Amino acid sequence: MSSLIPPSPFDVEAARRHLASARGPVFWRSLEELADNDGFLRWLHQEQPQLAQALSVDRRGFLQFMAASLALAGLSACGHPPQDQIVPYVHAPEGQIDGLPRFFATTLLRDEYAQGVLVENRMGRPTKVEGNPQHPASLGATDIFAQAAVLQLWDPERSQTVMNRGVTSSWDAFAAAAAQATERHLRDGGKRMRILTGAMTSPTLSAQLGAMLERFPGATWHVHQTLGNANARAGARLALGVPLATRLRLDRAKTILSLDADFLNDPTAGVRYARDYAATRTPEGNPGTPSRLYVVESTPSVTGGMADHRLALETDRLERFVGLLARGLGIDIEVPDEADAQQVRWLSALLADLKSNRGASLIVVGASQAPWVHGLGHLLNAALGNIGTTIEYTDPVERNVEQAASVADLVAAMRAGQVDTLWILDGNPAYDAPAHLRFADVLTQVPHVIHLGLYRNETGMLAEWHLPTAHQLECWSDARAYDGTASIGQPLIAPLYDGRSPAQVLAMVLGQNLQGRALVRQQWQQQLPDETAFNAALQQGVIPNTALPPRTASVSATFLAQVKLGPTAGTALELLFRADPTIGDGAWSNNGWLQELPKPLTQLTWDNAALVSPALAAQHQLRNGDVIELRLGQQMLAAPVWIMPGQAARSVTLHLGYGRRQAGRVGDGRGVDAYQLRSQSNPWGESGLQIRATGTRYELASTQHHFNLEGRDLLRVGTWAQLRTDPHFATAADPYRGKPPSLYADRPPGEYAWGMSIDLNACIGCKACTIACQSENNIPVVGKEEVQRGREMHWIRVDRYYEGDAANPRAYSQPVPCMMCEHAPCEVVCPVEATVHDDEGLNVQVYNRCVGTRFCSNNCPYKVRRFNFLQYADNSTESLKAQRNPEVTVRRRGVMEKCTYCTQRIQSAHIEADKQDRRIRDGEILTACQAVCPTQAIRFGDIADATSAVAQAKASARNYVMLGELNTRPRTSYLARLRNPNPLLGEDPP
Amino acid sequence: MSEQTYQSVTDAVCHITLHRRFGPYWRAAMVAAMALTLLLASGIVWLLHEGVGIWGLNVPVAWAFAIANYVWWIGIGMGGTFISGALYLARKDWRNSINRYAEAMTVFAVSVSGIFPVLHLGRPWFFYWLFPYPNVMNVWPQWRSSLEWDFFAILAYLTVSILYWYTGMLPDLATLRDRAPTLGKARFYGFMALGWRGEATQWRRFETASLLLAGLAVPLVFSVHSMVALDFSEALLPGWHSTLFPPFFVAGALFSGFAMVLVLGIPMRRALGLQEYITGRHLENLAKVMLAVGLVVDYSYASEIFTAYYGMDPYEVAVTTHRMVGPYAWIFWGTIFCNVLAIQLLWSARLRRNHAVLFGIALLVLIGMWLERFMLIITSLYQDFTPSSWGMFYPTFWDLAFLAGSIGLFFLLFLLFVRLLPVVSMFELRKLVPRHSGESP
């Protein structure tokens, strides 16, 4: 309230005291007096314009309004019952049972593409996101961003009110201003009006935008995407003549080649692709041959970590490699033969594999690659007969961007003074537009900038009007998934703040119905003609039959004539830009869960770093955390170094999304702003980088410091060939078969024996499990300094290990939750019985009994226990309290905690089963990590029931336990990873 | 002691307590000790306010300075009990002039050590949950945990040490009462003396009690240090999980205890003019015992390393190797320098009798023993079974503050003891007089 100190003679403090002392009728009279006070009115007009407006409309309405608003603003002090009639909760809404969660299907967006989710709603509060099994992009799983959406919803730093030039305003005030602007622009057809958006898959918004452009024929639509798929689109145009979208059918592919394509972690379809891919690689119940994955990439990716064979090549060498590959497949292209012996061997093995799997091979080109590489990819897939089998073409899912102008055009127009009104429909160009455009500077020359956003970010701060967007969980929306399937987003809660959906805002301008539901309802009138159909679509979370049908297309190689590849530059370094693995392009900066989620490949938290290859680090004598100066043309940036095994020797990778200045308390000032180095010409990277060590250091916070297994068999790996000849390879070296002997008798079996199986062959290391667990179990965020001290709280971590040559190692991921040891070392050492065993085999942590000796953590060989060294749980931020799962204790400082196998879900299932007098069914309990896993690597259930999925997984020959020789008898076991190397390439080098 | 009589012994000791003016050195020492104690006190307040996170602890290194301090201090305590108890039972009368301050040292060291296990808890205010009292939660402690055994071992040890020390002081307190120059002092010592009149029945009971307490204290010394060792042995961590630990810890405790007796005794006898009573022979005897137990400790080091490599358990081998060459190698080699190399000088009678050298070596042993405790704890924790969870420990300001503060508190207590209580056992010294001077008892 300090900013509200009135410059006018009106004394707010006196008014507050006066009101605080008043009761009942006196209170009303006081307010009337207040309404007649001149000083107060002046103050009100200056500081609370939305209230002043109300006053000008209707004095009686104003009084009612004041009673509530002043109470909220603290002017009347707290403690009065609301004057409005309140309705007691006697008749609960249908289907609502107090205390029990309800699930609603809705839609969340990532990079504007739909991900169908089910949101858990407890007493009207959305608390947890699960995947929607009916939705093609989810199949029941989600990525990390969908999990974090619920924290974003409750983020107290989201934009809360309409702001006009930095002063709190109102939607009505904006409506008046917008009406004026409309009138102004209608005169000249909107020539001086511009609309800036991102990609757009929402049919409703797209239609509204169309209507806008129709109403203002002179207006221009600009599209700004930080990364996006512009190259793929251009590539499709080159080879197919039309910018068709490409859909992968990984379930049909036997030989897959990724050219810098991180399809398992793809922002639009990664969750689905990961499931499809993992399914082809599970030996159990899968008699056919597994797929084989070749990856050629410049910077390590999640997909690269799963590769059977991986090549680390800089962009220029990668392009020449593709050229040679094309030539090997009979496509005429001019390419210098620079391949070294390893590449030649690799290429011939790859070609043999591809040719022998015609129609079942698949070449995927990454979004970072130049358009001609995308075009060539289409030619190669066509040459291999893959089109229509492993690759399907569809119409573009997004609104046709080809009609849009670029952000560069917009800047030019702004500079030339041709823009009077600029609509920025979500986005943050002042931060993430190419640096040399100086978007922020130019923006200030535009008289009227209207910015819509979830946060009042760098762009919102500069805008004349900033309008708060309602969160996706607060408003009606619709969107399309990667395959075109449309789904509706329904609000789970009334807007916490004064936000409105973009569709509602456009509706204001277009004079449409302002009701979000009506807008969406109207859009789908044809497909969903009546309420029943509409409600069914809401219930299912998908609108039936909206997936785009495959299209045929013919390829043309004429564009190759323009492609001329010279020899590679030799020693020049290149700088690659990629979206940050956990905070994306910066839109998620203020999300503590995502900031603290260890980045899948580096295990870094809270920062980005310049990823350099071990060779480059050795050449410049760099250690992790050394600050280097990156110079690209005229631009310069200092960034700390992280040595990345498997990084191409001459490639340096810098993730976007950090260095935010107006993100909020969580995101501000973290990391370095990679956008400052980025130019318009190539958003994905540029050659000609120069680096120089500065001699200073920057402390990075990584959750893992040692990536070498030290020869220990914690993570076991074999090959498919081995599985056939020696199925028990995973346990062959174990000194015993089955359980080691013990002096103590086994515990008597309980009603159930809970256990977990984690398939390392399926795990891609995406970390969705870690963040899902955090969301489900009220795990606090501890901050960078605490992570640096080694005090992160995640209950399930995903370890990463490397094997072999650091220049191009094999990479493995291993999720580690509590092992729920039958002979738990933690239990014997606790002096107060705070960690005990229950009869269903759970190793239970009793928070309120724990005194915090930490002996249990010391004695845990798996180091899965986490301790509240300080008061980590935020007990002061009100909105964060609402996010928490009421079934899980919020731990206070001084107590130990750890994975519980989601004991609250087990208990809920117990209650349900008891009510119906039956046993808990297999699959009835899904732990949070299990439910979210895109590849279904985690299985949980009753291991005493031989028919359960988990018992069957544990019966696999690949089953092993970690550190079994300690006789801890873990209930969590692993299935060994399988590699499928090409016999022509042998085992080493990879 | 050839010229000593009952009178002279009593006069000399009483003079220190009742009449001596404690000069600037004592005052300066008091100021320093109080300042450090204040640091400890502020540390405790901050700890209770913020949590144990003010220390550098983490996962995997969830124990560090506080536990090292605890083990170190309790080990130091052993010296006093051993000197007064075991040597008493063995009828080694030469101990009579040093047992009082050695016992005081024990009581103070054990008291200081007792602070740490409590403050080290995440929720120290619930430390009494380790006690098996009838409670509404209907929960008992978990008897399999060595921390539980340890809790009782410390409690028993502290109780017996205080009883033994205090009972042993009664006759001397009565002497002070009788000689007190002011009414205030007479009341103070009179209250403390619990009505001791020196009657024959009192003496008889006193002797029986002393014998019983000594008989109790000596086994307790062994039990408490074995229990401390089991705090580590019970864990399955490589480097901790060893049956060698209990005897190894007893030897280590004796080693540091004797070192502390020397570190306190050498300056004290000089400052208070006690050379007549705490003689060169005493110091030499202490030095010899220190060397002997030091060699036992060294043997333990050797056998630990041998067992690790001979056993070929990969985790044991890794921990032992990391101790010697890893990032904490300087602590290992520091320990070797202090506890193995430095004490070898004591073989030389000339060096052994040079009190400055002896003082220096004893100080090195104290430092070495702290380093050893720290090494034992840290190096087993920071790199255990799962390489992904390996992590370093770096102390914070508060880690160092608690160590310094505990030293301050110990010296504060000791300085007060020197000022207020008889530092040498008068009645026991008097027993020595007749044999030397020919007087009848």
Q: What contacts A243, CB < 8 A, 6 or more positions away? A: A233, A234, A236, A237, A396, A402
**Is-contact B235 B151, C-beta < 8 A?**
no
Q: What is the pLDDT of residues B68-87, one digit of tens each?
A: 999 999 999 888 888 888 87
CA-nearest of A882, A780, A788 to A121 is: A882
Q: Residue B440 above 50 pLDDT?
A: no
CA-nearest of A962, A622, A595 to A774 is: A595
Positions of E strands within B134-278: none
Q: Using a CB-CB distance cutoff of 8 angstroms, which residues of chain A are in contact with residue B381?
A: 858
Q: Residue A855 above 80 pLDDT?
A: yes
Annotate A683-717 with b (16+ C-beta within 10 A) or e (fewer). bbbbbebebeeeeeebebbbbbeebebeebbbbbb
Q: How many CA atoms lie within 13 A of A936 on its CB side?
A: 18
- Quickly state the pLDDT bin for B218 (edges 50, 70, 90): confident
Instruction: In whole angstroms, give the CA distance from residue B115 to residue B111.
Output: 7
Phi, then psi, of A899 in degrees rounded to 5: -55, 140
What integer is the mean pLDDT of A568-576?
84
Residue A827 distance to chain B (closest CA, Å): 8
* Beta pairing partners, A258: A295, A364
Q: What contacts B205, CB < 8 A, 6 or more positions away? A: none
Torsion sign (Cα): B403, B406, B411, B414: negative
Instruction: In whole angstroms, give the CA distance from residue B281 to residue B259.
Output: 16
Greater confidence (B9 vs A520) lies with A520
Asked whether the beta carbons of residue B145 and residue A868 sit closer than 8 angstroms, the reply is no
- Quickly state the pLDDT bin for A51 (edges 50, 70, 90): low
Closest Cβ–Cβ partner in A827, A832, A871 for B130: A832
CA-nearest of A966, A988, A635 to A810 is: A988
Residue B393 distance to chain A (closest CA, Å): 8
Find tokens 């190689």 and name the residue. A557
- Quickly state the pLDDT bin for A60 (edges 50, 70, 90): low
Q: What is the pLDDT of residues A930-972, one digit of tens each?
A: 999 999 999 999 999 999 999 999 999 899 999 988 999 999 9
Alpha helices, H only, A37-91: 38-47, 49-57, 59-73
Which H/E stretch holds residue B67?
helix B65-81
Q: What is the pLDDT of residues A120-150, one digit of tens each?
A: 888 888 899 999 999 999 999 999 999 999 9
Determine the pLDDT at residue A989: 45
Closest Cβ–Cβ partner in A816, A866, A894 for B51: A894
CA-nearest of A541, A909, A934, A978 to A751 is: A909
Instruction: In whole angstroms, give the CA distance from residue A104 to residue B189.
Output: 80
Could you tell me if A869 lies within 8 Å of chain B, comparing CB atoms? yes
Q: Which of B118, B230, B385, B386 to mutate to test the interface with A (most CBs of A within 10 A)?
A: B386
Per-residue tokens: A307: 């590769």
Closest Cβ–Cβ partner in B122, B146, B148 for A867: B122
Find tokens 């000796």 and name the residue. A853
Determine the pLDDT at residue A40: 62
DSSP state of A362: E
Determine the pLDDT at residue A6: 40
CA-nearest of B86, B69, B79, B72 to B105 is: B79
Residue B54 distance to chain A (closest CA, Å): 8
Q: What is the pLDDT of residues B367-396, one digit of tens each?
A: 999 999 999 999 999 998 999 999 999 999
Per-residue tokens: A676: 């400052």
**Chain B residue nearest residue A865, CA to CA:** B59
Find tokens 């590769």 and name the residue. A307
Asked whether the beta carbons of residue B122 and residue A831 sit closer than 8 angstroms, the reply is no
Instruction: In whole angstroms, give the CA distance from residue A950 to residue A954.
Output: 6
Instruction: In whole angstroms, give the CA distance from residue A398 to residue A227.
Output: 15
Distances (CA, A) of A538 to A103, A142, A488, A491: 12, 19, 6, 11
Q: What contacts A904, CB < 8 A, 6 or more positions away? A: A885, A887, A888
Q: What is the pLDDT of residues A336-366, one digit of tens each?
A: 877 788 888 899 999 999 999 999 999 999 9
Closest Cβ–Cβ partner in B52, B126, B141 for A869: B52
What integer is the mean pLDDT of B290-316?
92
* DSSP-based three-state secondary structure for A975: strand
Q: Using a CB-CB distance cutoff of 8 angstroms, which residues of chain A are in contact with residue B384?
A: 861, 863
* DSSP-based three-state secondary structure for A697: strand
Asked whether the beta carbons of residue B62 and residue A814 sit closer than 8 angstroms, the reply is no
Determine the pLDDT at residue A76: 38
Q: Between β-strands A685-697 and A573-579, what pairing exists: parallel, antiparallel or unpaired?
A: antiparallel
Torsion sign (Cα): A456, A462, A463, A464: positive
DSSP state of A402: G
- Quickly state the pLDDT bin for A398 (edges 50, 70, 90): confident
Instruction: In whole angstroms, give the CA distance from residue B294 to residue B301.
Output: 11
Q: Which of A273-277, A875-879, B108-112, B143-147 has the lowest mean pLDDT?
A: A875-879
- Quickly state the pLDDT bin for A82 (edges 50, 70, 90): very low
DSSP state of A551: B
Instruction: In whole angstroms, give the CA distance from residue A967 to residue A862.
Output: 13
∠ CA A477-A483-A487, nearest 5°, is 25
Closest Cβ–Cβ partner in A830, A859, A861 for B142: A830
Determine the pLDDT at residue A87: 46
CA-nearest of A834, A674, A839, A825 to A754 is: A839
What integer is the mean pLDDT of A559-567?
82
Instruction: In whole angstroms, give the CA distance from residue A566 to residue A323.
Output: 11
Helix axes A203-215, A516-523, angle to 10 degrees: 90
Asked whether the beta carbons of residue A858 and residue B51 sit closer than 8 angstroms, the reply is no
Q: Using a CB-CB distance cutoff of 8 angstroms, which residues of chain B are in contact with residue A862?
A: 385-386, 389
Per-residue tokens: A226: 């930080």
Instruction: In whole angstroms, give the CA distance from residue B106 to residue B90.
Output: 19
Q: Residue A84 above 60 pLDDT?
A: no
State yes or no: cis peptide before B441, omega within 30 of 0.
no
Per-residue tokens: A720: 């498919």
Determine if residue A61 is left, alpha or beta; phi over 0 gives left, psi from -120 to 50 gives alpha, anything else beta.
alpha
Greater confidence (A286 vs A87) lies with A286
Residue type, B165: W
Positions of E strands within A530-596: 573-579
Determine the pLDDT at residue A900: 94
Could you tell me if A705 lies within 8 Å of chain B, comparing CB atoms? yes
Q: Which of A2-11, A892-901, B166-175 has the lowest mean pLDDT?
A: A2-11
Closest Cβ–Cβ partner in B50, B121, B236 for A853: B121
Determine the pLDDT at residue B441: 36
State yes or no: cis peptide before B171, omega within 30 of 0.
no
